[in-house]
Amino acid sequence: MNLFFVLSHMTVLLGLVAVWLVLGLAGLVRSHRMAWVAYTLFPLGALVALGIAAVGFSALTDGFVVEQVVLPLGLPDLPFHVRLDALSGFFLLLLGSVGAGISVFAAGYFRAGEGTSPGLLCLQYHTFLASMAMVILADDAYLFMVAWETMALSSYFLVTTQHRIPEIQRAGFLYLLMAHVGALALLLCFGVLQGGSWLMTFDAMRGATLSPVWAGVAFGLALFGFGAKAGLVPLHVWLPEAHPAAPSPVSAMMSGLMLKVAIYGLLRISFDLLHGGPWWWGMLTLVLGLGTALFGAVFAAVQTDMKRLLAYSSIENIGLIAAAIGLALLSYAFGMRLLAALALAAALLHALNHALFKSLLFLATGSVLHATHERSLGKLGGLIRRMPWVATLALIGTLALAGLPPLNGFVSEWLLLQAFLSTPSIPHAFVNMIVPVGAAVVALTAALAGYVMVKFYGVIFLGQPREPSLMQAHDAGWLERLGLAWLALGCILIGVFPQVALNAIAAVTQVLVGTVIRRGPALWWIAPVARAQASYSGLWLLLGMAGTIAVMFVLVRRMYHGRVRRTPPWNCGYPALTPRMQDTAEGFGQPIRHMFGPFFRIERELPAPDDRAPRYRIQIDDRCWHGLYLPLARAVGWLADAVSVLQRGRLAVYLMYSFLTLLVLLVFVL
């Protein structure tokens, strides 16, 4: 008999989360033995992740009833509550399925002597996974915030694995600062949601009656808090700093999993606890999402560091997910539940797709980094010959991120465009005027994403090696290949059989907006609105492409084999081509830099007239950092200096402060 039927879903889930923590603690037993951590604990952690994914999938497909449990943990009058429903089941499926591939890769990636000791790294890694699972399961504000802060702290220690490097210390501090600013907003949000009842369970918050003003305040705080964790502009500044600083498996977990936990929190509060809201909630989220998506795509196009490029690409994809959520909120506010379900399905599917292909690409960059010790695109090239496994699997992720069929990235972006094209029926003139502009922004963002991926893959893997040391590069090990192949397989299967994923998502849209999108005629067909209006089959497209290639191959072999004269390619008139003649990452991004110049803060350093070796340097910075964060930091520093005059180091002065504070409190209280 299946164990999942003998035990409740919640019992199995809590047991698996506990096993993650036990595996982390087991790393401390032999903390300096990399073989013990890599070949025993990380593979076991991957099996636990598969178990969590199986329970999440079962919760979505087995006619599951909501399970709620009160744990004998927490404070005496404030115990921990956990809940498993369709929304949490979907994100547990995402967490487990993607986390399994990352854990297998991590087993072959981490090396002894790279910063944190292996045992401590194992504890931080599995604590990070367990805390994300508990955020998804939390059914009260107390447990949610405890798990949320545990997630932030464990990920901070993972980001600063190589903590002796000053740049990594600064990136970790910025990440922790933004995480706590967002956590403070979430704490205030839960304070508003309890509605004066002082009950911190989510059931009490669902039943609380809030005025429109306070409901709007709660939504705004949630959007700020989760937006800071997800990377919505202008709260995105930590992503391009933290991702390059972190080890590649950690970058994959943060981009593929942690950002999706923030999306989960936004959906939980906006649709579940607040039951939707006025149309301006959706419009605000939509505008922020579209701006974030375009911003991320433009900045990704001009990056010269491969991990910073992927970090800005994550900002772009989070923007698309937020835009889909905004469109769902907008449609739900006008009572258009089918359109809301379509937009929400696009958001959920793109969250799953982005977790797969972005984790795949971050892990591929990790293999490149280990093989070449280079992150700069200007020093890479030609690695397809030295790293054929990594290059092939990275190509799948690249095409998926570019939104090309028949891979999974195309399906979710196509659903999002279908949702935008259905908005003229919204009964609001202003919305009908603005939303079509959003469709154009989505199309532009998708085109820029394809441009960025051509740059990413072409500069790293194609052409000639730009440095002689690249000739010594080696392919990934078998565990790294297995982890990459697992994620690549997910990209292919969802692209070819998208209806399977949409069937699982249907349970979520039914709970949150009260309806589901139209089912396709088969598992390999989707028709979200109407079969005659728009339908798609990844399987038939794949078969058509394979058939066309096969026919062309046969025709060429039969009709032209032996008749074609092979000669070297034309060298453009140059007798000796060198790697320096290839297109560089800077040159590839130059058109975007010129077209979207106002997006960037550009500093140019021109060579001096008497410089014997003239060099031209250009620095591209984020205007948000220089226009918002640096002035804010200076203001805080000035305020701290002004307040520091109170610290005179004399006990009598401090006693006087306490006495004056007591007098003020007595005046105001009495």
CA angle 526, 527, 530 (to 5 degrees): 170
Q: If we measure between CA atoms, which residue out of 75, 242, 270 comes closest to residue 167?
A: 242
Are 37 and 119 contacting, i.e. CB atoms less than 8 angstroms apart?
yes
Nearest to 106 by CA among 398, 487, 571: 487
**pLDDT on residue 4:** 42
Nearest to 244 by CA among 293, 322, 318, 314: 314
**120-154: per-residue pLDDT in tens?**
899 999 999 999 999 999 999 999 999 999 999 99
Tens of pLDDT, residues 607-651:
666 666 556 667 777 788 878 888 888 888 888 878 777 776 677
pLDDT of amino acid 6:
45
> For the chain, what percentages of helix, strand and coil (3-state, to nearest 5) are there?
70, 5, 25
Lowest mean pLDDT of 60-74, 214-228, 492-506, 594-608, name the range: 594-608
Per-residue pLDDT tens digits for 366-401: 999 988 888 888 888 889 999 999 999 999 999 999
Q: What tokens appear for 154 in the block?
A: 């464990």
Task: Name the pLDDT band for 1 (thresholds 50, 70, 90).
Answer: very low
pLDDT at 302 over 90: no
Say how many CA atoms lie within 13 Å of 512 toward its Cβ: 39
**Other C-beta atoms within 10 Å of 431: how many?**
21
Residue 44 burial (CB count, 10 A): 17
At 110 the pLDDT is: 83
Write the burial class of residue 247 (CB in 10 Å: 0-12 exposed, 13-18 middle, 19+ buried): buried
Residue 466 DSSP label:
S
Q: Is 313 within 8 Å of 251 (Cβ atoms)?
A: no
Helical spans, DSSP H, in 334-472 = 337-372, 383-386, 388-401, 408-421, 429-461
Residues 6+ apart with CB under 8 A from 58: 4, 9, 64, 89
- Give the pLDDT band of residue 564 (cuts 50, 70, 90): low
**What whole-number distance in Å separates Cα of residue 387 and Cα of residue 403?**
24
The string of pLDDT tens digits covering residues 61-87 is 765 678 888 888 878 888 899 999 999
- Tell me which long-range contacts 427-431 makes (C-beta under 8 A, separation of at least 24): 427/334, 428/279, 428/334, 431/279, 431/283, 431/330
pLDDT of residue 670: 60
Percent of the chain whose predicted confidence (pLDDT) is above 70: 91
pLDDT at 116 exceeding the cut of 60:
yes
Residue in 359, 605, 606, 400 with CA at minimum distance from that of residue 486: 359
Residue 78 is inside which H or E element, if any?
A: strand 78-84
What is the CB neighbour count within 10 angstroms for residue 515? 16
Closest CA relative to residue 108, chosen from 398, 485, 396, 400:
485
Q: What confidence score (pLDDT) does residue 76 get?
A: 80
User: Is the dihedral angle over the CA atoms 30, 34, 40, 41 positive or is it negative?
Assistant: positive
Please answer whether residues 235 and 178 qualify as being in contact, where contact means their C-beta atoms are separated by less than 8 angstroms. Answer: yes
Q: 330-359 as b/e, with b when 16 or more CB fall inside 10 Å?
A: bbbbbebbbbbbbbbbbbbbbbbbbbbbbb
Q: pLDDT band for 158, please (50, 70, 90 cuts).
A: very high
Q: How does the average pLDDT of the chain come out, rounded?
A: 86
pLDDT of residue 217: 93
**Whole-prediction pTM:** 0.91
Question: Rounded to an integer, what distance in angstroms lies between the CA atom of residue 175 and that of residue 240?
Answer: 10
Give me Rg for the CA atoms of the chain: 26
Please give the backbone phi and psi of residue 510, each rounded to the nearest 5 degrees, phi first: -65, -40
The distance from CA 607 to its chain's CA centroid, rounded to whole angstroms, is 40
**pLDDT of res. 285:** 94
